[in-house]
Amino acid sequence: MKISIGADHGGYRLKEVLVPIIQSLGHEVQDVGCSCDQSVDYPDYALPVCEAVVKGEADRGILICGTGIGMSIAANKVQGIRCALVQDTFSAKATRDHNDTNVLALGERVLGFGIAEEIVRIWLETPFSNGERHVGRINKVMNIEKQVSNHV
């Protein structure tokens, strides 16, 4: 798979650790930045990752900031994105298996690098179950997105 990854100043260190791990799992990585600890705005990195996923230029995306909260909020504003903020391995598996998430949000300041690596590995390796109830629920969520965009 091709994975687009982005981080702000609060998540760039974890991004730098994860990129070679993702590559070692056999995936191509598109790194949109940042690579510094100088203050930057997380939406500036969330948007290009999400656009790559929506346009089909990347299969999935990973976003990292201090808590993962800002990145997940920004990502979920993009039509077609299903981003989950994950802090444990059970959720990493469930969010792919049940929700077919296409973007993963992580918080460098709340996760140890070891658990973050395990979350990413599980999230990348877990397929969507295609279970009828899960597909129906995802369709309902996507319909909310369409309804809201038509009312604005």
Q: What's 60's DSSP letter?
A: E
Catalytic residue, from 9, 34, 50, 65: name it.
65
CB atoms within 10 A of CB 41: 12
- Answer yes or no: 50 catalytic: no
Give me the helix-helix angle, 89-97 and 113-125, nearest 10°: 20
The token pair that represents 100 in the structure block: 């077919």
Query: What is the side-by-side strand order in the sheet with 60-65?
Result: 28-31, 2-7, 60-65, 103-107, 83-85
Catalytic residue, from 83, 98, 134, 151: name it.
98
- Answer yes or no: 36 catalytic: no
Q: Could you tell me which of 134, 67, 57 has the C-alpha nearest to residue 97?
A: 134
Known catalytic residues are 65, 98
